[in-house]
Each structure stands twice: as C-alpha cells, then as structure tokens.
Amino acid sequence: MTYRSTLRGLASLMLISLLLAATTASKKLMADKKTSSVTYTMHHPLHTWDAVSHDVNCAIMYDEATKTITSVAVAIKIASFDSKDSNRDSHAMEVLDGIRYPNVTFVSQSIQTGADGTLTATGKLTFHGVTRPTVLVCTRKGDGNNLIVTGDFAIRMTDFAIEQPSLLGMKADDAIKLKFTAYFNE
C-alpha cells in the first residue's frame, strides 16, 4: 500500500464519516394526530363558524445538533374538517370540490428561527388545485422530545379560484382564518 492510496483511503473515510454525521443529526418527527389540530373560521353576514380537523398529516425534519426545525410538510384532507353541522360540511365539500381536490398541502422551502423561538416557514400552499407561495409565522415550544408548534394565518378563497359560498343572496367573507397546533413526540 502506498502513501498516496493510504491518504485517499483516509480522505474517503473522513468524507463518509462527515456524510453520516450530517444525516444522523436530523430526524423526522410526525405530528401526533390525537392532539394536533387545524381549525378554520369563516364569516357570513348572518353567522360565523369553525371547523376542526384532527387528521393532520405533518412531518418535520428536526436537527438535533442545532435544535432547529429545518423543514415541514403538511397534508390535510378536506373531508376531515368537522363543523358540527353535516349539511354545512357537505356544502363545504361541494364548494371546495373536495372529490377533485381532496387535500390541502403545505411544503416548506426554508425555515428561519428567530431568537425568541418564532419560526418563519416560507413555502408552497396548495389548495383547490392552486399552488401559491405562502409564509407561515409559528411559535415553537419545547425540544425534539416534546415539541409544540402553533400558529395562525389567513387566506383568501379568490386567491385559490374558489367561489365564495352564499346564503340568502349574501356571500361569505373571502377570508378563511386558519389556526394550527401540532404536537411532536419521540
């Protein structure tokens, strides 16, 4: 064995070690469906209502070395939202074309962590077959063993090619307010 081949072998071993260290520093965590939720709120001139989904499919990549969330992906079934009014839920499926577009998804492209624990996730929100750039500001509590991420944001139905539902000739507000809480445990 020559000096040069020994150096190549050591360099290869160091590179493999670095790659393994980089891949083991991050771990995938899934949101606990029993405790996690997404709630939407809509307003019509005659009433305001909420609907909740506990079928939150959310995965994060958590970097154990830096104690940061590095990426997130979320998918929620339209049919999983419950407003406690089956007629309203059926109408929501119709308005949102829930058979053709069964899921709402968000996939991050970057996540910035503020000094106060605030997370700013920039990514793509897909709803009703339309994908739009979206920024979510969240609050994070805990660490990788017991992590809670909460936040809220609003979207406009017209931004996603959704016709505002109406009742008695009056349209619901264009805004849908969303609030989320995701619990992650090892």
Q: Is the dihedral of CA 9, 14, 17, 23 positive or negative?
A: negative
The predicted pLDDT at position 153 comes to 94
- pLDDT tens for 15-65 read 454 444 445 578 999 999 999 999 999 998 888 999 999 999 999 999 988
* pLDDT (tens digit per residue) in 118-177: 999 999 999 999 999 999 999 999 876 789 999 999 999 999 999 888 888 888 888 999
pTM score, two decimals? 0.82
pLDDT band at 10 (very low <50, low <70, confident <90, very high): very low
> How many Cα atoms sit within 13 Å of 46 on the Cβ side?
7
Buried b / exposed e over 20-53, threshold 16 CB at 10 Å, is eeeeeebeebebeeeebbbbbbbebeeeeeebeb
3-class secondary structure, 172: coil
Give the number of C-alpha atoms closer than 13 A to the C-alpha of residue 48, restricted to the C-beta side: 6
Exposed/middle/buried for 141, CB within 10 Å: 0-12, 13-18, 19+? exposed
Which of the pair, 156 or 14, is modelled with greater confidence?
156
Domains of the chain from N-terminus onward: 26-185 (2.40.128.110)
